[in-house]
Structure 1
Amino acid sequence: MWTDTEWLAQAAFWAGQHALPLSLVLLTLLLASTWAGWRLLWPGARLGGPRAQKTLLTALGITTLLLGAGVFTMLARALLMGPELGRVDQLFTDTLLAHVPPSALPVFALLTHLADTAVLTGLGVGVAVALVSWRQPGLALAWVAAVGGNSLLNVSLKQVFARTRPLDADGLALAPGFSFPSGHSSGAVVAYGMLAYLALRLLPARWHLPALLTAVGIAFSVCVSRLFLRVHFASDVIAGWMSGTVWLALCIMGVELLRRAAKG
């Protein structure tokens, strides 16, 4: 009978062999589930009135927070407990190297720039200035806290785990420093997730679902780009995704609590 590690190794090998079509399938499923969730939950909440809507959104936020924290904790514990996770990660990375055509890598190199430090810094400053000019100082402060706080959190976590990066990257993306969790992954989730939240708050209703779908698509694409460029292990990317999700949920829930308190 296979052990859990052997099952994971087989899954990693299969996923590495089919990484390109698998990523497209996962992106399609993620966008479809986002669209379906919006259509089902948002109008359905309104049928029960504002109180039911708030209850559903609060439950969704808490569930997202707990799920993200649970997955991150599981990965962190596996990383600290021994070499098994590293072996599975390396197998997946080696399989990617053998099965992903080099012609696909420049596309992922472009996608990964959407969460470069320079890009997110410029986006952070630009959005903050725009929000202040639109007389939204509270949202500007929330935006800066979300994006800046995530950056500090990621740097701190990297120092705690001090994991080295894969050694066979193609050089199409700069990746200094430690590897766990992925800063590009967490940064994309928080920055583009907060942009979607701001769109829900400030833009007309017809833009809400497109903004949400765009944010989900960009965040996922940045995450998988770090895998295909082989500047992160799979567990780094998943952990970055989860830490970013937890921080994003905390920030949005905090803003909403303050908003409700201000309304009395």
Structure 2
Amino acid sequence: MVLLAQQLGEHALAWFALALTVSVLGAGLACRMLQRRHPLPNTGEPDESRLALGLGLGFVLILAAAVLVAWIASHLGDGRTMGRADQALADAIAAHVPWGALVSFSWLTHLGDAQLLAPVCGLVALLLWRHAHRGLALGWVTALGGIVVLNPALKHIFARARPVHDHGLALETSFSFPSGHSAGAIVSYGMLLYLALRLLPARWHVPAAMASVAAIVTIACSRIFLQVHFASDVAAGLLTGLGWLLVCVSSLEYARHRKRRTAR
């Protein structure tokens, strides 16, 4: 595993380009196939009370599972193999990735900054509310607010130190595991994709899916390239964000279907 991580780090830019291309094209293809087989209607608002119940229960379950995982992890040893692989990948990236590429990633990583996503959250919520999509507005705000609470809680549970990053392009001082940028990116851009699928004409669905996946993959990988996170931090952040995103979207869809069935 350590040798594989070192080899990946030596050709990190090529692997990133491949992962980005496959992910973006795969997202576009998957969205197109779903459009043909299961068209997504854009009618129906979720019931706010059922939505709040689903989101609250989902949040508690995820947090409880994280505490259990942390307790189990503390009894499994220090994870030397994974730690060495993480460090080998970070060292190989530091040695082989050109400075210009690091500068580019230092700009791209800001797409996942809270300072950017917070105003976007407020603007989107305002637009949804003004167009009478109040259930979607509540789901959107809760999704982004939930990950803001969930990720720091997980960081303090695991309390993992960050890798050394003294290049001057980025500076992070909080705990490392899981990656907040990765979790925030998949929740924010995933929810934007859900809103696009729900509200925009069908011709925008495939471009929205491809753009969302491109942003998520780029932000997540930028954290590894900038060495502010280990690869396992980013993987955990993506999984954490994906879990919360699924809770939010499932709650919205459940509430919408229940409200539409009750209206009949």
Corresponding residue of 2:196: 199
Distance (whole Å) between structure 2 residues aligned to residue 135 and residue 258 of structure 1: 16
Distance (whole Å) between structure 2 residues aligned to residue 79 and residue 223 of structure 1: 29
CA contact (8 A) 2:31 2:205 kept: no
Structure 1 residue ranges without an equivalent (≥5): 1-7, 47-68
Corresponding residue of 1:255: 252
SS in 1 for 2:38: helix
Q: TM-score, normalised by structure 1?
A: 0.83
> Is it true that 1:214 corresponds to 2:174 in the alignment?
no
Residues 193-236 of structure 1: CA deviation (Å, up to 9, x unaligned): 10011111111111111111101000100000001111000000
Which structure has more relative contact order (CA 8 Å, sep 6+)? It is: 2
Corresponding residue of 2:168: 171
Distance (whole Å) between structure 1 residues aligned to residue 112 and residue 140 of structure 2: 16
Corresponding residue of 1:112: 109
CA contact (8 A) 2:6 2:92 kept: yes
CA contact (8 A) 2:177 2:237 kept: yes
C-alpha deviation, 1:95, in angstroms:
0.6
Distance (whole Å) between structure 2 residues aligned to residue 259 and residue 169 of structure 1: 49
- Aligned residue identity for 1:81: G
C-alpha deviation, 1:26, in angstroms:
0.6
Corresponding residue of 2:30: 37
Q: TM-score, normalised by structure 2?
A: 0.83
Distance (whole Å) between structure 2 residues aligned to residue 87 and residue 149 of structure 1: 32
SS in 2 for 1:81: coil
State the identity %.
44
Distance (whole Å) between structure 1 residues aligned to residue 237 and residue 224 of structure 2: 12
C-alpha deviation, 1:79, in angstroms:
10
CA contact (8 A) 1:184 1:222 kept: yes
What's the Cα RMSD here? 2.1
- Aligned residue identity for 2:172: A
Structure 2 residue ranges without an equivalent (≥5): 40-64
1:1-264 aligned within 5 A: 8-45=1-38, 77=73, 81-82=77-78, 83-264=80-261
C-alpha deviation, 1:80, in angstroms:
5.8
C-alpha deviation, 1:87, in angstroms:
1.3
